[in-house]
């Protein structure tokens, strides 16, 4: 994934982007803002790590978290749709998952990460099973995956 290429495309196409991260803890926002002039496209980065933050800041319905869990397609979708309302960015991204080393279950293993991307009316919710890698690798793989998908979507 070429960050410079994405950076240039976002600027050239005058696109804006906002992110709501959980298990990546700001790594996506960091990558999107590490190049000069990223202020031309980057609008907002929220780290909604706790369930309460997802509920209070992103207005994820408490019932969704109670019924499906914070690491679910439903929560991820609610995160990205509500971020889109808050940020008014053209591209919105949400990430929720289990980076480990603890917290995994049989149904929701370590390495399970949901990525939500909303680009205008286009909505994509991806379920990724990155496997039992270490925490840092799961975070990096997730960010790489997001950057790759965004580049593809805006091409």
What are the pLDDT tens digits along the chain (155 aa)? 589 999 999 999 999 999 999 999 999 999 999 999 999 999 999 999 999 999 999 999 999 999 999 999 999 999 999 999 999 999 999 999 999 999 999 999 999 999 999 999 999 999 999 998 999 999 999 999 999 999 999 98
User: Whole-model pTM?
Assistant: 0.97
Domains of the chain by range and CATH? 3-154 (3.90.950.20)
Identify which of 47, 52, 49, 83 has the alpha carbon closest to the alpha carbon of residue 65.
52
In whole angstroms, what is the distance from residue 152 CA to residue 132 CA? Answer: 27
Q: How many CB atoms lie within 10 A of CB 110?
A: 22
**pLDDT value, residue 1:** 59
151 φψ region: left (φ > 0), alpha (ψ -120 to 50), beta (else): alpha
pLDDT of residue 77: 98
């Amino acid at each position: 994934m070429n960050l410079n290429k994405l950076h240039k495309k976002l600027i050239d196409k005058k696109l804006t982007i906002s992110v709501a991260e959980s298990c990546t803890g700001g790594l996506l926002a960091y990558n999107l803002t590490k190049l000069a002039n990223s202020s031309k496209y980057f609008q907002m980065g929220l780290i909604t790590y706790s369930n309460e933050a997802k509920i209070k800041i992103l207005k994820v319905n408490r019932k969704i978290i109670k019924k499906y869990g914070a690491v679910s397609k439903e929560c991820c979708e609610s995160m990205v749709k509500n971020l889109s309302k808050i940020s008014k960015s053209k591209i919105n991204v949400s990430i929720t998952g289990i980076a480990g080393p603890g917290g995994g279950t049989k149904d929701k293993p370590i390495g399970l990460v949901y990525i939500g991307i909303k680009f205008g009316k286009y909505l994509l919710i991806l379920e990724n099973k990155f496997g039992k890698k270490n925490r840092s690798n799961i975070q990096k793989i997730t960010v790489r995956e997001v950057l790759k998908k965004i580049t593809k979507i805006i091409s």
